[in-house]
Amino acid sequence: MDLISYGDSIPEGEYKLHSAFANALNFRRGKMLVSLVPPRTGAGPLNLVLKQLPLGAKRLRSTRFYFYIDENRLRKEPDSLYSSSVPAEDADPETVRENIADLASLLVKKAPPKSLAFIFDPKLEKHFTRVFEKHLLARFKKAVAYFLAGNDSRGVKTMRGLGLGLTPSGDDFISGLLAGLNFAKKCLRFDAETRIERIYFYAEGGNLVSNSFLRCSYEGKVSAKVRRLMKALSVKNRKELAAAAAAALNSGHTSGADFCSGLVFALFQEFKSPD
């Protein structure tokens, strides 16, 4: 069992198996969820990336220098530590503005059906066909309208816990919003702190997995795929932007697209903000 990387936000302590999927084993300690994932999922603030997933693993323990997965001990090599902070390099606002417009177009083209990418192109609404899905769409649109009107608290309350997937689409979108605002704060030096606090205040629900992602985004901690995307947003390199977007979209079914939609939406709003 080889440890390829480990996130910088995994507290020491004993964790118990919470849920097991083909591509992730989630371990829980209180409200904290740590995931064992294979290399294709990639590094994250709460991820242990292993060359091979130990499918039968039941226990995880994190100590100062080691992880213990059942009877296996894995050393926390300093070189394998993944620093999950949103990149802090100053970015040129004009470049970012152009790149987020490109990213929105990419989302429209590449996002799977029934994701929140419809907010950038109403044509994508056609994928919501059943009665249930149409109601869902109407609710999403209502939430987006609240955000556009500057009523973040109503927007979050309407959006959270809403939609398809293990982490409902609405939660992924809010995670993306928070990550986008942290990017705006750190790389563009926009004053986004108040919005971050306001959104997170109402964001958490009863879904442990969603809450874990929301907390990370709130703290400005993102996965390696999102970090790569943020770096690509800061430079003039369309090829890299497309590659980074493709990688970020490749998470869950619509999760990647919902998260990116939130991120782009937040940045669009920040650029439009009169401040």
One residue of 14, 31, 72, 153 binding other proteins per CB under 8 A: 72
Q: Which residue has the tokens 């242990």?
A: 48
Using rule CB under 8 A, residue 168 touches other proteins: yes
Which of 92-100, 119-127, 173-181, 206-214 is the region at the interface with other proteins (rule: CB under 8 A)?
Answer: 206-214
Nearest-approach distance from CB 183 to other proteins, in angstroms: 24
Which of 207, 225, 236 lies closest to 263 in space, CA to CA?
A: 225
CA dist., res. 80 & res. 6, Å (int):
6
One residue of 117, 164, 241, 248 binding other proteins per CB under 8 A: 164
Nearer to other proteins by Cβ, of 93 and 112: the residue is 112
One residue of 62, 175, 255, 261 binding other proteins per CB under 8 A: 255
Using rule CB under 8 A, residue 215 touches other proteins: no
Nearest-approach distance from CB 187 to other proteins, in angstroms: 29
Which amino acid appears at position 82 of this protein?
A: Y
Angle CA 166–121–230, to nearest 5: 65
Q: Which helix (H) or strand (E) holds 259?
A: helix 255-272
Using rule CB under 8 A, residue 163 touches other proteins: yes
Question: Which tokens sit at 137?
Answer: 């769409």
One residue of 64, 206, 274, 275 binding other proteins per CB under 8 A: 206
Helices 169-187 and 208-218: angle between axes, nearest 10 degrees: 10
CB 199 within 8 A of CB 193: no
CA dist., res. 169 & res. 256, Å (int):
9
Build a one-symbol-per-residue string for 224-253: x at contacts with other proteins by CB under 8 A, - elsewhere. Answer: ----------------------------xx
| DSSP code for 221 | B
Build a one-symbol-per-residue string for 15-34: x at contacts with other proteins by CB under 8 A, - elsewhere. Answer: ---xxxxxxx-x--------
CB 180 within 8 A of CB 191: no
Using rule CB under 8 A, residue 155 touches other proteins: no
One residue of 32, 61, 80, 202 binding other proteins per CB under 8 A: 80
What backbone phi and psi angles, to 5 degrees, belong to 40?
A: -70, -25
Burial bucket for residue 198 (CB in 10 Å: 0-12, 13-18, 19+): middle
Total of chain residues touching other proteins, rule CB under 8 A: 55
Which residues in 89-128 contact other proteins (CB under 8 A)? 114
Nearer to other proteins by Cβ, of 93 and 205: the residue is 205
Query: What is the contact surface with other proteins in residues (CB under 8 A)?
Result: 1-2, 4, 18-24, 26, 38, 51-56, 58, 71-74, 77, 79-80, 114, 129-132, 135-136, 139, 158-168, 170, 205-209, 252-255
